[in-house]
A and B are shown apart, each in its own frame.
Chain A
Amino acid sequence: MPIASRSGRMEEFKRRVVELVPQGECIIGDAAALSSYGSDGLIRFRQTPEVVVLAKSAGEIHSAVKLCAELGIPFVGRGSGTGLSGGAVPPPDGVVIAASAMKGILEIDPVDRIAVVEPGVANLVVSERTAPFGLYYAPDPSSQSVCSIGGNVAENSGGAHCLKYGFTTNHVLAIEVVLPDGSVEVLGGESPFEPGLDLRSSFLGSEGTLGIVTKVWLRLLSRPEAVRTLVADFDSAESAGAAVSAIIAAGIVPAAIEMMDALAIEACEKAVGAGYSLDAAAALIVEVDGPREEVDALYEEVKSACVSCGTTKIREAADQAERSRIWLGRKAAFAAAGRLAPAYIVQDGVVPRTALASILGRIAELADDAGLRVANVFHAGDGNLHPLVLYNPDSPEESEAAERVASEIVELCVEIGGSITGEHGVGLEKACSMAAMFDSGDLEAMQRLRIAFDAQGIANPGKVFPTPRLCGDTPGRYRAHPLELSGEAIRF
């Protein structure tokens, strides 16, 4: 007999799911434990789940999703919970199906340069385990020591080095997924070519709205023979932006080009003492990697480009220890903003990289108008901005102004041909901003894809796409994730 009420269905789920997860664990009724799954890294969005399924195998995820499908219960897949857009927040009256305990590396093939892994494996672990073969996994989100490959698939994660090496979508050959109807499919193959429609690409970056990944075939790369890193100081953001353009115009694709403004430099120095120049208006971190002779040639050209654009000082990393120190400073930028103000909002937007200098000016104007300060850290090579809007949370006026400025920055990104998100995802946070980038036809086409995967609409509902209820919500301020506070994860 069908169970009509939502609560009745949930009780049925709770009763039956335990038997379906013999190796894993189900958290039911333990309010404190359930609460810890109520948010991801963006903790201003929170929803305590009814049940958390800690799966130990693909079979257990399959069984749990199948039961959700049978009972019409919404679910969200979860990796390490380090996302920054509220994408892993449980749906109301929904369950969490976590793959964080599935940490198996099932195969490493050094000849074919493929690793087959379970979704709970941490990103960095793949590189560590393949290092003895001279290989690594290229996408490197800043949380790579804890973020999971499954989460990377859901978010199409990037990282500092995606300018040269691309994103998760460029490094995942195939995925085994449990679809929201409980069926299991493998999308893609062991080569980049697989006949038929490329569902793999659609699933990547779908933020859990199309199903849960249970196995991933990763493409591995040879570790670069040489790496060289420098920090170039400039007396204006315009000069630093010009240097970025000059490097790219020379036909160089560095492994990374990062940019910080004076406020961000100050914050990083206060936090970790990376040796940045406090008198610089802007600084670039440029890293070149590859075969030794190529690196040597291109590195000199990078230096020349910085000089021709008026760099006031170039600091070269003499060894790996100094390189690590330089990067530690950059990677500490988000957390370090806490040394400048009691609260801040982290924004994530993208502009054409040629617009970097001009948008910095526009951001400064917005901040001045609002009476606020904004620290800027950019993945300059690919135009990905992370403005940190600083404010005093005890002041309702400042809090409101900060939220307004953060929103206006994203609108500005779209206005000049960019995107509302370069790497943090849409999730809950920016679902209402989707309409700034996509019109009704665009969103309808995306919904048609979604329906093909999830006719019931039970996979992570309320995320990515704007809904009236969702868009009536008021965003709040950024707060540090517990993993960040403990030093296990760094925002980037």
Chain B
Amino acid sequence: MSGAPNQGPAILAPASSAEASQMLGSFEPGQNVRIKGESPAPDVGLATIVCANLHGYEHSPADQTLVAAAGERLGAIEGMLAEHGQRIPAFPLTARERNMTLGAWLASGADTAAAQRYGRFRESMIGAEFILADGTRAHSGGRVIKNVAGYDLAKLMAGSLGALAFVTAASLRLYPLPRRAARVTVEAEIPRAVALVDQAHRAGIELATCEWGGGQLEIGVEGPSAAVEAALRKIADLLDRTVGQLELSEGDQGSPALASRLAEERESFAGTIVKVGTRLSGVAGLHQAIVSRGLAERGVRLHSHLAVGIHYLGVPAGDGLDGEVDAILRSMRLAGQRIAPTAPADGTIFLGRRPGGLATMRRLLDSFDPQGRLVSPMRTSIITETEMPG
């Protein structure tokens, strides 16, 4: 701990849940705090509580579960699990993501190519321990993969950007590493890529990953060697090629090369990254709108976890492009969220159609944190949106 809450801006780095509870519980009315994965550069004169000093994990290889403290790094978790032939449903990870704390990762609600096979990361969260803004310690779920006792607050924490509570630990369902993983890359603009995914589904190909960006579609298949071989034959048939003619790569524990490249591009993108969800076929309309309005020529980029319907728009800074993207999303009734930068100048992270349940989200914020102690772009955005006239 480097500072106390009543001595002005401070970095609070609890080493246990009890300490975190004590720290948050000792805040005076009117004092605010933000939740981060690790110590930020001193900036806004705001107290910050970080999870980086929360360490420890309990791995049950035979039960395929992991309880990990929020300060554990994703890369360390990934490496430890790989020794047991297991993985978390987040891959491929960039170097920056490997260095992220589990707490920061959960709060961000980030997605990877793994969403195709395992769903979003939250779906593998089977429990969480957290501290409410007033210092109340709580947990939800548990350590078993099947459990319907009580409300599922663990998934609620995922993607909440620290607006609800300080997560100190999470329980995760784990998965076996694939025995073999192969990736096929195809040059395909969005309409053809969507058609290929549909054809792959109809052909009974189980897609492990499905990434699109820069005019390329990358399909990943995993499983026993014979099954991967059979899937590759089916993919080759779809493309009117032989397996030998496929642009194919294997190994690296199934890390898709295109997915890695796209994730790194997003991290280094100079501008806004907007995350959008659509049906599979809905992405074609989104892509068409970007192209037909000349936004592609002005630098707007689309990346996609295609088959699962999660997309990213890279919007260059300036030139009013944010507003134009907002207008496209609104016209298509699509809801978007800025994921970078995470604290936009206009105070809201939402673009396009506003998400459902905003009024309930606001009540939830008021219920979990009635004093508004936790500073978060999610809180700011929800309050901003619910205060806007009809």
Interface residues of A (CB under 8 A from B): 109, 111-114, 134, 155-156, 158, 162-163, 166-167, 169-170, 174, 179, 183, 185-199, 201-202, 204-206, 222, 225, 245, 248-249, 251-253, 290-294, 296-298, 350-354, 379, 382-384, 417-426, 430, 434, 437-438, 441-446, 448-453, 455, 464
Contact = CB atoms under 8 A, between A and B. Distances in A.
B61 to A, nearest CB: 8
Nearest to A451: B367
Given A201-B152, A202-B153, A352-B144, A441 B349 contact: no
Given A195-B336, A196-B350, A444-B138, A294 B224 contact: yes
Given A197-B163, A251-B177, A188 B152 contact: no
A79 B185 CA distance: 46
B356 A188 contact: yes
A294 B137 contact: no
B367 A197 contact: no
Contacts of A444: 136, 138
B358 A196 contact: yes
Nearest to B350: A195
B143 A352 contact: yes
Contact of A158 (B137, B146, B201, B202): B146
Contacts of A170: 119, 123
A446 B153 contact: yes
Contacts of B140: 442, 445-446
Nearest to B63: A352
Contacts of B308: 191-192
A417 B360 contact: no
Contacts of A198: 122, 155-156, 158-160
A424 B355 CA distance: 31
Give the interface centre of B62, B149, B276 by most chain A CB atoms within 10 Å.
B149
16 contacts: A179-B360, A183-B359, A191-B278, A198-B155, A205-B148, A222-B202, A222-B204, A249-B61, A291-B205, A297-B223, A383-B145, A426-B150, A430-B149, A451-B363, A452-B368, A453-B363
B150 A197 contact: no
Nearest to B137: A441
Contacts of A155: 148
Contacts of A421: 147-149
A449 B358 CA distance: 14
Given A179-B360, A196-B382, A445-B136, A202 B279 contact: no
- Would you list the 10 A-B pairs with minimal beta carbon distance, nearest first? A191-B277, A251-B176, A191-B309, A294-B227, A195-B337, A201-B155, A193-B277, A445-B138, A186-B356, A196-B355
B251 interface: no
B151 A294 contact: no
Contacts of B337: 195-196
Interface in B169-194: 175-177, 179
A352 B173 CA distance: 12
Contacts of A425: 148
Contacts of B85: 251
Contacts of A443: 150
B229 A197 contact: no
B123 A197 contact: no
A320 B115 CA distance: 32
A422 B356 contact: no
B2 to A, nearest CB: 27
Interface residues of B, number: 89
B60 A352 contact: yes
B174 to A, nearest CB: 11
B132 interface: yes
Contacts of A195: 275, 335-337, 349-350, 355
B147 A442 contact: no
B366 interface: yes
Given A194-B335, A350-B146, A419-B146, 17 more contacts: A111-B280, A112-B281, A113-B280, A192-B120, A194-B356, A195-B349, A198-B155, A205-B152, A245-B62, A290-B206, A291-B204, A293-B227, A354-B60, A418-B147, A438-B149, A452-B363, A452-B368
A198 B282 CA distance: 22
Contacts of B388: none
Contacts of B149: 419-421, 426, 430, 434, 437-438
Contacts of A204: 152
B231 interface: yes
B146 A379 contact: yes
A380 to B, nearest CB: 11
A162 B146 contact: yes
Nearest to A455: B363
B209 interface: no
Contact of B142 (A158, A169, A419): A419
B364 A449 contact: yes
B61, B152, B177: which has the most chain A beta carbons within 10 Å?
A: B152
Contacts of A206: 151
Contacts of B336: 195
Nearest to A426: B149
B144 A418 contact: yes
B357 A187 contact: yes
Interface in B74-122: 85, 111, 115, 119-120, 122
Nearest to A446: B151
Chain B CB within 10 Å — which of A169, A186, A443 has the most? A169
